[in-house]
Amino acid sequence: MVVRDRTAEPADLGYDVCYVNGFQTQPQDSAAFAADHPELLVQTGDGPLADPGWPDELLFDTSTAAKRQALVELVGPWVEGCADDGYDAVEVDNLDSWTRSGGALSADDDAALAVAYAEVAHRAGLAIAQKNTPELAGRLREAGFDFAVAESCAVFDECDAYLAHYPVLLDVEYTDELGADGFAELCRDSDRPPQVVLRDQDLLTPDDDGYAFETCGD
């Protein structure tokens, strides 16, 4: 399984998953999106609200059905493009944007948009993965999500929350959080997710200094 951004070609090495930022802007698109669709961003007295962890990303406003429909009309073609490019599935990131919205959004708002994205993906012939946000796993699995992709679920003791609902969980742990020793310990745990990898936080390529990729089978 290889996850790549929707602007990249599938790896064609097995099962290809297309990354779509469905709840926030991508950094390179933020300025244009703010200019073209200010009504679809969470607004503050100082302008569009940015993700504090990723300040180049602006939060989509999911607070009303009309705004969610407008976002589906914008993001839906990105999802359909993943199918056209030959991907097998899509993962929609930043499902937990409501937690960074200062109360402007709710879990119900983001879940409703996520379900709409799932309908688009399935109509296009794609499976869809929940990305992070374990507290919504039961709701989204029941609504038709097919598998889950989690970051650092071992570090935050969240893996069981996904495995209780999904038959497949891809867990990505990071060297600067879990580390090699922690990953070795995780691999010895019989209750760990069956699909787990250890990566460097920057997702470097093999020719880069600091590149890390390890699985429990290595």
Cα–Cα distance for residue pair 157/152, rounded to 1 Å: 8
Q: What is the mean pLDDT of the chain?
A: 96
174-197 residue pLDDT tens: 999 998 999 999 999 998 999 999
pTM of the predicted structure, to 2 decimals? 0.93
Asked if 95 contacts 129 with a C-beta cutoff of 8 angstroms, the reply is no
Choose among 203, 186, 190, 195: nearest CA to 148: 195
Asked if residue 54 and residue 139 are part of one domain, the reply reads yes
Lowest mean pLDDT among 14-23, 155-164, 169-178, 209-218: 209-218
Encode pLDDT of 2-61 as tens digits: 999 999 999 999 999 999 999 999 999 999 999 999 999 999 999 999 999 999 999 999
Residues 122 and 39 in one domain: yes
The count of residues in the chain is 218
194, 162 Cβ separation under 8 angstroms: no
Looking at the fold, whether 63 and 95 belong to one and the same domain comes out as: yes
Shared-domain flag, residues 77 and 185: no
52 & 129 share domain: yes
Nearest to 183 by CA among 173, 168, 194: 173
Residue 216 lies in a domain: yes
CA atoms within 13 A on the CB side of 103: 0
Are residues 6 and 82 located together in one domain of the fold? yes
Number of domains in the chain: 2
- At residue 67, does pLDDT exceed 80? yes
Together in a domain, 57 and 132? yes
Residue 102 inside a domain? The answer is: yes
Q: Do 140 and 216 fall within a single domain? A: no
Asked if pLDDT for residue 72 goes beyond 90, the answer is yes
The residue among 90, 114, 145 that closes a domain is: 145
The mean pLDDT value for 101-124 works out to 98
- pLDDT attached to residue 168: 95
- State whether 60 and 29 are in the same domain: yes
For residue 82, what are the CA distances in angstroms to 25, 76, 138? 17, 10, 26
Q: Is residue 160 part of a domain?
A: no
Q: What is the pLDDT of residue 217?
A: 80
User: Residue 141 domain-assigned?
Assistant: yes
pLDDT tier at 218, thresholds 50, 70, 90: low
Reference 150, options 110, 106, 91; nearest CA is 91
d(CA 51, CA 57): 6
Boundary-marking domain end, from 110, 145, 180: 145
CA–CA distance from 105 to each of 45, 57, 72, 76, 95 (Å)?
16, 16, 17, 21, 11
Q: Are residues 138 and 179 in the same domain?
A: no
Q: Which domain holds residue 207?
A: 150-155+165-218
CATH number at residue 6: 3.20.20.80
DSSP state of 144: T
Q: Which two tokens stand for residue 113?
A: 């948009």
Q: What local confidence, expressed as pLDDT, does residue 139 receive?
A: 96
One domain, residues 119 and 170: no
* Same domain flag for 141 and 177: no
For residue 161, give Cα distances in angstroms to 103, 132, 137, 183.
Answer: 25, 10, 7, 20
- Supply 4's token pair: 């790549």
CA distances from 178 to 24, 29, 152 (A): 27, 32, 8
Which domain-ending residue is among 81, 113, 145?
145
| Structure confidence at residue 152 (pLDDT) | 96
